[in-house]
Chains A and B, each alone.
Chain A
């Protein structure tokens, strides 16, 4: 074989490879933006949830750490201060007027002041917060066990999910309030708490004051900050975008165990 045919063959190969690569990438883009393909990909999420629940068991406990592992300052992500007048008014009074409403599929719905939440059975835990972006931070949280709140309102058997409504608007015009939801396994889990303290001090505004959710077996966006209202539901299809959370409505996975 002479040099010229060899180099032209090489050039042909390089071009063919380049064209195949471009075609492959363009194909992936079209699939990402199609209506149907993301629904196919979502099968992976359901498979992960089923497999992880099976392997770990429903009651598995998240790892807890020691004081030596604490991050020097706990990173704030997402909303650092809710852009809302109602929230600003609450914060100005040190959340003295704060009321957490708990209702929905509950036999005795009621609301809790911060003092009443503090009077419920509490739990203190040093846990690792894993953001969907990839970073982790370790903090010491103290809060009322969500199970104690659920016991107080007498959950009806048809309740399947707990929805958390937050004070922080995600849209510039003050709408699109953050919200999240978890299932009853996570709701009754002993490490699932409504935290009002971080690292031994009142929860700072940047980390979700006065109360945020800790749901330790899932990624950070499930840990709703600035929780104002809790609702027990049998389905979240009717709430906002219908996917069970603000980020879920933007395409993120409802099951955030991985």
Chain B
């Protein structure tokens, strides 16, 4: 983008060179994950639509109101409205949450809109089939990834932050907020914030979503009677599952944002062919 600096740069002999960043197994598992998580998320929203309310506790009917509720009701003069109620505070979310148009153009009372769910129409049994099938693909893919990362030392080499990196985490946070990115030799490694984020997503967030999903299974609850109460009960597990799903979405949005601003094509190529072009060093300010 800035030809003058690139040619003038003498301090980065490796800049501009392609290097092999992502191994084939990592690339394949990454894209399987993209497809599986997309389907799991969207079919999950369809399952949520079957009972669009979240509770805290062992059951839904404890005498306490739900902590989140999405619905449609008569809005008086304005006609039907879609609403979202969080901790008793109601928001008008007509058009997106509670009341939205289906592909036919007909407005329908549904929590999440059809463009966010699989299938697009209210079809709980089909959503469950998609959800659980791709959950298996996701779990098997994830186990393969962890095994491969240990065996190939991807985890130790590329993901585990060093003591020195951890000491400079403040600088890394500042760099991210200023959209300053690694160049030259530093760009051949993940930065410390990136490493920590990946580790948290891989070893905390994704397993939490799976575990809370399993906590909703009446059969898995029998593994050890009462274990679901450790997180507050089955309805709490459902709420945590929902929050974890949206935290994963938040991660994906930030991840894609970083991919775009640090060079979309370069990043995409590295996740398809494995080769990443090292950005030239930026001029010192």
Which residues of A are interface residues toward B (Cβ below 8 A)?
1, 13, 24-25, 28-29, 32, 38, 40-45, 47-48, 52-53, 55-56, 60-65, 69, 71-75, 128, 130-138, 216-219, 247, 250-253, 257-258
Contact = CB atoms under 8 A, between A and B. Distances in A.
A56 B220 contact: yes
Contacts of B96: none
Contacts of A217: 218-219, 222
Contacts of A138: 58-59, 61
Given A40-B133, A44-B136, A135-B59, 18 more contacts: A13-B264, A32-B118, A41-B132, A55-B223, A56-B222, A61-B222, A72-B62, A130-B234, A132-B124, A135-B60, A135-B61, A136-B59, A138-B59, A218-B219, A252-B125, A253-B128, A257-B218, A258-B214
Given A134-B51, A136-B235, A137-B59, A41 B223 contact: no
B interface, size bucket: 35 or more
B35 to A, nearest CB: 9
A134 to B, nearest CB: 4
Contacts of B220: 52, 55-56, 257-258
Interface string B143-174: 00000000000000000000000000000000
Given A69-B58, A73-B61, A135-B51, A258 B216 contact: yes
Contacts of B216: 130, 258
A72 to B, nearest CB: 5
B132 A45 contact: yes
A134 B50 CA distance: 7
Contacts of A247: 125
Most buried by B among A44, A60, A71: A44
A218 B218 contact: yes
A131 B51 contact: yes
B232 to A, nearest CB: 12
B120 A47 contact: no
A218 B264 CA distance: 47
Given A44-B132, A52-B220, A128 B50 contact: no
A178 to B, nearest CB: 16
Interface in B202-259: 214, 216-223, 225-226, 228, 234-235, 238
A-B interface, 8 closest residue pairs, ranked by CB to CB distance from nearest: A257-B219, A44-B133, A60-B222, A134-B51, A71-B61, A258-B217, A41-B129, A135-B60
Contacts, number: 141
B234 A136 contact: yes
A62 B221 contact: yes
B63 interface: yes
A253 B222 contact: no
Nearest to B39: A28
A137 B136 contact: no
B253 to A, nearest CB: 13
A64 B217 contact: no
Most buried by A among B119, B128, B216, B264: B128
Given A25-B115, A136-B234, A72 B61 contact: yes
A134 B238 contact: yes
A88 B210 CA distance: 46
B48 A134 contact: yes
Most buried by A among B134, B226, B234: B234
B4 interface: no
Nearest to B234: A136
B126 A251 contact: yes
Nearest to A10: B260
A132 B48 CA distance: 10
